[in-house]
Structure 1
Amino acid sequence: MRLPDADDLFRPTAPAEQAPPTAPAIPATAPGAAPAAPTGRATGAGEAAGSTRAASGRVKHDEKMTVYVTADELHRVEDARLALRRHHGLAVDRGRLVREAVALVLDDLDSQGADSPLVRRLTEG
């Protein structure tokens, strides 16, 4: 039996021409601290209106976040994933779907601020 080499395990997940630029070394943050915004993305309120964050898509992710959801929420995410495949021909995993959804919500928060649906839902709940 042949075990995979390091090159097989750590291969790039994006084509070379689409690979993101190499980010400068960033010191590790303390546990519980907010992570630094990735390079090449919008970072917040001080930016011009209309700027958007792009979800990271299919690249190697260096950070991990665990989120607990209800069974109903997980079923809704899985239903959305299957609907994207069935109706739109998009084969995406749950992680990518969630990253895209988070990017959309954060863009909306940046552009609408206190009027965003996220702020309304969090203040109502």
Structure 2
Amino acid sequence: MKIISIKQIVSLLTISTVTLLSACANGPSVETNLDKENFDEYFAAGNVTVYQTEDELPGKVVSLGLIEGESCKAKENDIPANAADARTMAREKAASMEANAVVFTSCTLIEDQQCLEMMVCYGKAFQVSDH
């Protein structure tokens, strides 16, 4: 039985690690359809703060208009239409108007020909600044 020393184990591990890393360094390149603009759009709703009333809006306020968002249950096995998804869609629309604040006025279930059920949330978009 041959006994391997610690020095030999460390050498083997070092050689193995270097070999693996060098093999990965020349690996195939990966191309995706992801770009910064898609990320900005995807996370845009996170830049819009929801306030309960217009009285809560801090600083200088400019009204940018009305917004709405919807959540659709298109198939029987889909999740139910819900206010959270409808509000997120409305916040995305507000962000596209360069709003950073929203006050929701109502959410309601409505009948729709393409959806088994649809939740729509209505609100107002605002640009709030500190000065």
**With structure 2 as the length reference, what TM-score do the two structures score?**
0.22
Structure possessing the higher radius of gyration over alpha carbons: 2
TM-score relative to the length of structure 1? 0.22
Structure number with higher relative contact order (C-alpha < 8 Å, ≥ 6 residues apart): 2
